[in-house]
Amino acid sequence: MSTSEPVVAKPKDASGIKPAVSTPTRRQYWSSLRTMLSPQRFSLREEQFFLLLAVLIGIGSGLAVVCFRMSIEYLKLHLLGSGLLPSVPRVFLAPMLTGLVIAFLVIRFFPRARGSGVNQTKAALYIYDGYIPMPTVIGKFITSALAIGSGQSLGPEDPSLQIGAGIASALGRRLKLSREKLRLIAPVGAAAGLAAAFNAPITAVLFVIEEVIGRWTAGILGAVVLSAISSAVIERWFLGDEPLFRVPAYHLEHAGELGAYASLGVIGGFASLAFVKYIAYLRPRLRQLPSWTQYFQPAAAGLLIGLIGIKFPQVMGAGYSYMDQAMHEQYTWQILAILGALKIVTTGLSFSSGTPGGLFAPVLFMGAMIGGAVGMAERQLVPQLAIPVGAYALVGMGTLFAGILRAPMTSVFMILEVSGNYSIIVPVILSNAIAYFISRTFQPTPIFDLLSRQDGMDLPSLEEEREVPLLRVEDAMRPPLGQTLTGKLLLHEARQRVQGSAQDYFVVGMGGDEWSGMSRAVLLDMIPNSDIPLSQVLTARIPYLHPDHPLDTALRLIGGRPMLPVVHRAHVQQLLGVVSLDDVMRAYRGAGINESHPEPAPVVP
C-alpha cells in the first residue's frame, strides 16, 4: 500500500513569519481532500484486491444462488403442486414436457449449460484461462431450475457451483485481473456457489480444493475461504441458518456399532461402483445417438422418471425432504432399498440425457436411502444394536459421496457440517474409507475425470496426483564417503586429511547450523603448514537438506554446487549423507522406470 500522506501547503505571510494560527483557504481544502481520496492512497496490491474481490464474489454468488433456489421452489410449486406426493398427471407430464423445453434451450441457446458444472469450472481453470461465458451461467440457471423444479432426478449444488464460478469469471475479466488470478477466480466463485447451495462453507472449500483446484495452494486458500464464508452468510441471511437436515440424536455407545457401519461402507462402496459404471456406460451411448434425438432425450428421461414417480414420487427432484423422512424412519427397509436403487436409475437417466443439473443431491439421496435400509435391516437382524436409523442414513450419505464423487475429506466434513453432530465422525470415517477403497479398486477413474474424458478433456485430478509417489532426498542421497571436515580444523590438518582421500569435494561443518564446502584442489592450493582454522578461510555457506525434503527442493537448491549435505533434523551438525545433481537425476530416472506415472483411463468413445 502506498504511504503517501495528504500534504497541506503551509501558507506564509509576506514577512515570512509564520502566523500563530494558519487558516487554510477553500482551494487548499479541496486540494487536501483530493489527495486524501486519491487512488494512490487507496491502491491495493493485487493479492489484497483479490481477497476483497473474493468477498464481493461471495456476496454476488450468494445472492444468485438464493435466487436460483427460489426459482426451483417456485417452479416445483407450479409444476408439481404443493403436496409432498404430487398428483399423477403432474408427475407424468411435468418432467416430460419440461424436458422438451430444456432440450430446446440447451441446444439452441446454451450449449455449454449441459454437463457437469464441476468439470466446466475445472476446464475454465486449466484450459480457458478462467473463462466461463456469462450466457452459460444464465443458461445453467434457467435450465437447471426448470429441470429440478419439474422433477428430473438432479440437484442444485453443481449448477450453483458453476453459477458462482461464472459470476467470478465475468468479474475477473471485467476487472482485468492478471492471467494467473483470472485462472484462479473461477474456483473462488465455485466455492461461493457451493457454500450457498449446501449452507456448508467448510464443505465447499474442501470440495473446491479437492476436486476443482486439485492441490493445496496457500495463495488461493484465503480467497476461497473468504468467498465461501461470505456466500454462506448471505445464504443464511435470507434463508436462515437451519441445517440441511434435522438429524436425530446419536451417540456412539458401543464399539460393536462400528461393525455395523463397516457393513454399510461395503454396501455403499458397491452401490457407488454400480452408479459410476452405469453413468460410464449410459452417457456415451446416449451421446452416440443421432443429434436430433438430443431434442428428445431429456423428455424421454423425464417420461421414464415420471412413470417411476407415479409409484415412487420420492425419486423426483433433489429429494431433500425425503432424505429427512428416511432419517426419521418413515419407510421400511425394503422401501428404502427400492428408493436407493431407483434413484441410481433415474439420476443416471437424467444426467446422461444431457439435462443440466448436479449429482450432489442425488448422491446424498442414494446414500440416505441405502444407509437407512442397511440400518433398518440390521436393527431387525441384530436388535441389540439400537442405533438410530437417522445415523445410518447420515453415514450413508457420506459413504456414497466418498464412493461416487471420490472426495473423502469433503465427505467427512460435509456430514459433520450438515448434521452438526461430531459424535458421528468415527462411523463416517470408517464407512467412507471402506466405500472409497472399494470404489477406487474397481473403478480407478473418478467420476468427474471420467466425464471430462468422455467430453474429450484431460483435466488434472488430486486423486491421480496422490497416486504419483513423491520422491524425497532420502531416495537420492548417498552416505558421506571418506573424510568429512569441520570448521575448527587448522588448514594443515585439513590438508593432511584430504591428501589420502579420493574425494574431489568436501562438505565442512562450520558449527551451529552452518555448512560450507570446498574442493580438494582449492584446499591443496592453500599455504601449507598454516595454523589458520578452516572456518576463517571458508566464508561462503551452502544450504543443507534433510532426508524428508522433496527431491524438487534439492534440485532447486543445488545450483552449481557439486553436492549438498543431508543432515539430521534434530542435530543439524550430524551429517547423514550427501546428494549431488547426478544422484537427483538418477533417482528421477529410477522412479520413471520402476513406478511409472499412472496411465489415464481409456476414453470411452
Question: Which residue ranges make up the site for other proteins (CB under 8 A)?
Answer: 39, 42-46, 49, 52, 56, 59-60, 63-64, 66-67, 70, 73-74, 77, 82-85, 128-129, 131, 133-135, 171-182, 238-240, 242, 246-249, 321, 325, 327-330, 388-390
Q: Shortest distance, CB of residue 280 to other proteins, whole angstroms? A: 29
Q: Shortest distance, CB of residue 393 to other proteins, whole angstroms? A: 10
Burial of 70-107, coded b for 16+ CB within 10 Å and e otherwise, reads: ebbeebbeebbeeeeebeeebbbebbbbbbebbbebbb
Q: Shortest distance, CB of residue 199 to other proteins, whole angstroms? A: 12
Q: Shortest distance, CB of residue 528 to other proteins, whole angstroms? A: 56
Beta-strand pair 505-511/564-567? unpaired
Cα–Cα distances in Å, from 500 out to 330, 367, 533, 578? 86, 72, 20, 20
**Other beta carbons within 10 Å of 338:** 18
Q: Shortest distance, CB of residue 215 to other proteins, whole angstroms? A: 21
**Other beta carbons within 10 Å of 564:** 27
Closest C-alpha among 347, 337, 341, 352 to residue 305:
347
- Three cell numbers written together for 4: 503517501
Q: Which is nearer to other proteins, 84 or 521 (CB)?
A: 84
Q: In this structure, is the dihedral angle defined by the CA atoms of residues 397, 398, 404 and 405, taken in order, positive or negative?
A: positive
Q: Which is nearer to other proteins, 92 or 392 (CB)?
A: 392
Q: In this structure, is the dihedral angle defined by the CA atoms of residues 380, 382, 385 and 390, taken in order, positive or negative?
A: negative
Q: Shortest distance, CB of residue 418 to other proteins, whole angstroms? A: 14
Q: Which is nearer to other proteins, 184 or 349 (CB)?
A: 184
Beta-strand pair 505-511/514-519? antiparallel
Going by the DSSP 8-state scheme, the letter that residue 14 receives in this structure is: T
> Which helix H or strand E contains 598, and what residues bound it?
none
- The answer to whether 98 touches 310, Cβ cutoff 8 Å, is no
Q: Shortest distance, CB of residue 94 to other proteins, whole angstroms? A: 18
Q: Shortest distance, CB of residue 590 to other proteins, whole angstroms? A: 38
Q: Which is nearer to other proteins, 169 or 352 (CB)?
A: 169
Q: How far apart (Å, rounded) are the C-alpha atoms in residues 198 and 318?
A: 12
Q: Which is nearer to other proteins, 60 or 371 (CB)?
A: 60
Sequence length of the chain is 605
Q: In this structure, is the dihedral angle defined by the CA atoms of residues 223, 227, 230 and 233, taken in order, positive or negative?
A: negative
Q: Which is nearer to other proteins, 27 or 45 (CB)?
A: 45
Q: Which is nearer to other proteins, 60 or 159 (CB)?
A: 60
Q: Which residues contact 338 (CB under 8 A, 6 or more apart)?
A: 312
Show the DSSP H helices in 405-446 as ranges.
Answer: 408-419, 425-442
Q: Shortest distance, CB of residue 490 to other proteins, whole angstroms? A: 54
Q: Shortest distance, CB of residue 311 to other proteins, whole angstroms? A: 16
Q: How far apart (Å, rounded) are the C-alpha atoms in residues 134 and 163?
A: 9
Q: Which is nearer to other proteins, 49 or 104 (CB)?
A: 49
Q: Shortest distance, CB of residue 314 to other proteins, whole angstroms? A: 12
Burial of 141 (0-12, 13-18, 19+ CB in 10 A): buried
Q: Which is nearer to other proteins, 132 or 438 (CB)?
A: 132
Q: Which is nearer to other proteins, 234 or 359 (CB)?
A: 234
Q: Which is nearer to other proteins, 9 or 33 (CB)?
A: 33
